Amino acid sequence: MAYQEMQDWSRKEEERPSTGSWRRGWASAGALIATIILIALVAMVTLSNRAREDALTWERHTYDVMLLTRTADATMARAEAALGRFVLDEDVKTSGFLYSEEWRRAGRQIGQLRRLVREDEAQRAQVDRLQTLYKQRGSELASAAAAAAAKRGSEGLSLFYQAGLSKTGPELRATLDAIAATEREELRERMAETRMFDEQANNLTEWLGWLGVLIGIGAILLGLAAYRALTDRLIARQQAESESERAMALDRAVQERTRELSEANERLQAEAAERASAEAQLRQVQKMEAVGQLTGGIAHDFNNMLAVVVGGLDIARRKLSGPRQDVEFHLDRALEGATRAAALTRRLLAFARAEALLPEAVSPGGLVEGMRDLVDRTLGERIKVETSFPDTPWTVWADANQLENAILNLAVNARDAMDGEGTIRIGIENISLAERAVGELPAGDYVRIAVSDTGSGIAPEHLEKVFEPFFTTKPVGKGTGLGLSQIFGFARQSGGDVTIDSAVGVGTTVSILLPRATGVAEQAPVHVTRADAEGPESGQTAEGVVVLVVEDDPRVSRSTVSALEELGYRPLACASGVEALQLLGEWDGVDLVITDVMMPEMTGPELVRRMAQEHPDVAVLFVTGYVGEAGEAADLGGYDMLRKPFTVSALAQAVSAALSRRSSGSPAASEAAAAG
C-alpha cells in the first residue's frame, strides 16, 4: 500500500513544473531501494526459518537415535534375563520363547539404528562394530540356550555364567553409550545452531519492522497533501499491528498447548507401560493359579486312588494268614484303585495333547454304527439312542480308539444329564466351514459328530469352564471332570475343535469337528492291547519261548520278568537298546522282544528299525506309558502295543498276539523281513 502511494505521489510530481523533477527522482530511487531491501529481508527470513526447521529436524533425528540405543540396550537386557530364567527352569514355551523373541528384536533395533545413522560415517562405523559385538554376544548366549533347550541341567547355567563373564556384554553397552554420547554432542551443536537461526530470524524480523517504520515515515512525508489517505493508512497499520499481536498471542498459546499435549502424551505412554507391566503380572498370576488348580485336582484324585491302593495292600498283608477270600477282596480293591489311577494318567496325557495318537482313515458313521451295542449296554435300557448319518460318508484321519472313547464319554455325560432316562441323538454331518467360522479352524471340509440330549442343560456361567480340567457339575464322586477336557485335547491334537451349545431345561449338544481325510498316505495300523484286558492269558504254549525284555527302569523290568515267568515264558532282561542288540547277537533263540518306547540313548522305535535289518524274524511288542517324542504312528505302525500299567492277563494276551502275528506272516513281520 505504501509503495502504491509513493507511485501516485511520483505521478503527481511529474505533472508539476520541472523545478520539482529532482525530488521525484529521489523519491523513485528511495522507493526502489526500499523495495529491494524488503525483498532481500523477506528472502533472508525465509532462509533463516528453513535453516531453523532443518536444525529442528536434525534434533529430532538425534533424539530418535538416542532413544533407539536405550531401547536396544533394554531389549538385550530383557533377552539375557529371559535366558537366565530359561537355563533355570528350562521352560521352552515361556522363558525360551521370550529370550529368542527379545534377542531377535534387539537385532532388528540395531538394524534400524544403522539405517538412521547411514549418512554419518563415524556413527555408521560404531554401529557396524555394535552389530559385530551383537553377533558375538548372540553366539556366546546361544550355547547356554541350546543346553537349556536340550534340558542338560546345570550345563546351561554354567554356560550362561561364563557368558556373563565375557567382555562382549560390557563392550556392547559401551558402544551403545558411545553412540548415544556422540549424538548428545551433536545434539548440543544442533541446538546451538537452532538458537543461532532463531536469533537471526528475530533480528531480521526486527529489521523488517524498522524498514516498515522508514517506509511509513516516507509515506507520511510524501502524503502530506493527502491527509485522508494518510489517516486510512494509519488505521490499516494499527489493524495490522493488532492482528500481528493477536497472531503472536495465538502462536504462544499454540506453543503452550503443544507443550501440554507433549507432557500428556508422555504421561499416557508411562501409564500404558505400567498397565502393560501390570497386565503381564496378572497373566502370570492367572497362569500360576491355573497350574495350582490343576495340580491340586491331580493331587486330590491321585491321593484318593492311592488311599485305595495303599489301604487295600496293607489290609491284604495283615490278612495273609486269614481267609483267602478276604485277601483277594482287598487285593481286588487295590488293583481297581491302581487301574483308575492309570486311567486318570491317560486322560491327563490326552488333555495335555502329549499322548501319541495312532491315526488312520476312519468313517465316523461306521464307527458309531459299530459301537451301537456298546453304547446301548453302557447307557442302559431307559435311554433311547437315535442316530443319523449323511448319504455320502466322509472319512477323517484320527485315532479310532480315542474317537470311540470320546463319543462314549459324551453319551455317558448325556445320560447323566438326563438322570438316566431320555433320548440321546448321535448325528454325523458333512460340513464346509469358512476361515475361523469355528474357533481358529482354517477353511475347509469337516465332519461334525454331534451328541445331543434332552437333559437339564448347563448354566451360562458354567459354559466357559466345561473344558477346564477337573471342572464338573456332577455331584461329588460322580465324575473326575476330565472327560470334556480329554475330548478337547483329542480334537485339537487331531486338527479339529469342540463346540458346545446348551440351554437350561432344554438340553445340550456337544459337537466334535474333525477335518476331512483327503489324500492321506496308507500306513500299517498299531495293534493296541488294553492295559486292563481280561480273559484267557495266552493263546499258545509258552514253554520254551524266549522273551527279551528291554526296559531302563529296573523295577518295571523286574515286574515284567516276574509276570513272564508266571506265564511260563523264559525271559531275559536288559536296560538299553545297545544291550538288547548285543544279546540278540549272542543269543540265537529269542522269539520276542518286549521294548519300552521312551529310553535314553536309543528309543524303542530306533531299536526295532535296527532289529528289522539284523534280526527280521524276531517278534516285537511295544510297552509304553508315554510315547512323547520317541515315536509317532508311522514309527509304531504294524506292531503290537501294550500300555503301562498292565495286568498279567493283558501282558499274556499282548505277547500271544505278537507271537501269533509273527507266525502267521502279518504285514509287520513281512516288512521286517523285507528290510532285512
Specify the pTM.
0.41
* The pLDDT of residue 293: 53
In this structure, the number of other CB atoms found within 10 A of the CB of residue 271 comes to 10
Q: Which CATH architecture best describes the domain 527-675?
A: 3-Layer(aba) Sandwich (3.40)
Q: Which three cell numbers stand for residue 280?
A: 503381564
Predicted confidence (pLDDT) per residue in 538-573, tens digit: 445 667 889 999 999 899 899 899 989 988 999 999
For the chain, the domains span: 2-225, 364-515, 527-675
Taken in order 223, 226, 231, 237, the sign of the CA dihedral is: negative
Which amino acid would we find at residue 305? Answer: M
Residues 6+ apart with CB under 8 A from 374: 408
Which amino acid would we find at residue 398? Answer: A
pLDDT band at 537 (very low <50, low <70, confident <90, very high): very low
What distance in Å separates the CA atoms of residue 252 and residue 258, rounded to the nearest whole number? 10
Predicted confidence (pLDDT) per residue in 472-525, tens digit: 665 544 555 556 777 887 788 788 888 888 888 788 899 999 998 876 544 445
Interval 344-373 mean pLDDT: 70
Q: Under DSSP, is residue 384 helix (H, G, I), strand (E, B) or coil?
A: strand
What distance in Å separates the CA atoms of residue 494 and residue 359, rounded to the nearest whole number? 8
Q: Which three cell numbers stand for residue 302?
A: 491321585
| 364-515 to CATH, choices 3.30.565.10, 3.90.950.10, 1.20.1640.10, 2.70.98.60 | 3.30.565.10
Query: What residues does 62 pair with on adjacent strands?
Result: none
- The helix or strand, by DSSP H or E, that contains position 547, with its residue range, turns out to be strand 546-550
Give the E-state strand segments of 110-239 in sequence order: none
What distance in Å separates the CA atoms of residue 52 and residue 380, rounded to the nearest whole number? 90
Predicted confidence (pLDDT) per residue in 469-487, tens digit: 655 665 544 555 556 777 8
Q: Which three cell numbers stand for residue 624?
A: 509304553
Task: State the DSSP code for 516.
Answer: B
What distance in Å separates the CA atoms of residue 282 and residue 180, rounded to the nearest whole number? 35
**Residue 645 burial (CB < 10 Å; 0-12/13-18/19+)?**
middle
In this structure, the number of other CB atoms found within 10 A of the CB of residue 610 comes to 16
pLDDT at residue 364 greater than cutoff 50: yes
Cis link prior to 645 (omega < 30° from 0)?
A: yes
